[in-house]
Amino acid sequence: MCGIVGLFLKDKSLEPKLGSMLTDMLITMTDRGPDSAGIAIYGTDEDNNTKLTIQSNNPEADFDQLDKALSEAANTQVSIRVKDTHAVLEVPDKMVDDVRTALVELRPNVRVMSVGDIMEIYKEVGLPKDVAARFSLAEMSGSHGIGHTRMATESAVTTMGAHPFSTGSDQCLVHNGSLSNHNSLRRKLKRDGIAFETDNDSEVAAAYLTHKMKHGSNLGEALKSSLDDLDGFFTFVVGTKDGFGVVRDPIACKPAVMAETDQYVAFGSEYRALVNLPGIEQARVWEPEPATVYFWEH
């Protein structure tokens, strides 16, 4: 069991409330996943900077003066915004590779959670309400976001085993279910040059979609091909810079409910997660069909 929530806003006036709405939805799904929780949130692209969300188990030492050290090492301008065990580095788009190389040298224990123009990922072990509070998720604004509460089955309960997984720029995936062909697929993707952080099955699904999109598929097409190539149980919710997609395996035993109004598209593992959204009584509420791809783009 795991819990998934997702919110894709159509009405810009709701953007300042995205974090608080998603946090409420996430905490409602605690029963489905009390091990760990995470959220990916898509903000606005205001500049020519790329965001690197990084994580450390020893944030005080690792994040101290990191902006200055990286700026000097990569000869560029890096800023840092620390949030508990995570920090967001803002790096000029062209300097991302240099900064990442410098980061590995300067702070070998720091993990990169996500890279993108607008996406930030926060995830940790613990109850969803505690994870949300540590990162002040409720105060975040954005255009769309995805959250996950985890009850682990396929790999250990660790920060890196929590969802969302990001394997491409501004791309993320959360998963409820378990994949049975992830080892063979991981080997194939490794041969194509994709690096993996964990032994987790869901990370393979994320990497698979990234791989497909790198080779010309849009989000909808990548999700469609996942139905042929992934074996197992899954309900996926995925985010891209301007898109939001949902797909369930043909057996569809992992629950899913969606709601759509003029203001938003929302996803919940259960209807409970959606009950406090504005105008939910008038929303079109439905259960996504098995083996059917749903996606929305801004």
Task: By CB under 8 A, name the binding residues for another protein.
Answer: 250-253, 255, 257, 270-275, 285-287, 289-290
What do you get for the CA distance between the two ends of the chain, in Å? 31
3-state secondary structure of 62: helix
Which residue, 208 or 294, has its beta carbon nearer to another protein?
294
Beta carbon nearer to another protein, 72 or 287: 287
| Min dist. Cβ of residue 268 to another protein (A) | 9
Closer Cβ to another protein, 156 or 251, answer by number? 251
Active site residue 253: no
Strand order in the sheet with 144-150: 119-125, 36-42, 144-150, 2-9, 264-268, 257-260, 284-286
Least Å from the CB of residue 271 to another protein: 4
Q: Is 257 helix (H, G, I), strand (E, B) or coil?
A: strand
Question: How many other CB atoms are there within 10 angstroms of residue 16's CB atom?
Answer: 12
CA distance 170 to 276: 28
Name the residue nearer to another protein (CB basis): 229 or 289.
289
- In angstroms, what is the minimal distance from the CB of 73 to another protein? 51
Given the residues 1, 2, 160, 228, the one annotated as active site: 2
Query: Hey, CA dihedral for 255, 32, 26, 88, is it positive or negative?
Result: negative
3-state secondary structure of 249: coil
Measure CA 213 to chain center. 16
Report, in Å, the least distance between residue 26 CB and another protein.
15
Between 214 and 272, whose beta carbon lies closer to another protein? 272
Give least dist CB 5 to another protein, A. Answer: 13
166 alpha carbon, distance to own chain's centre: 6
Q: Which two tokens stand for residue 4?
A: 């998934």
Return the active site residues. Answer: 2
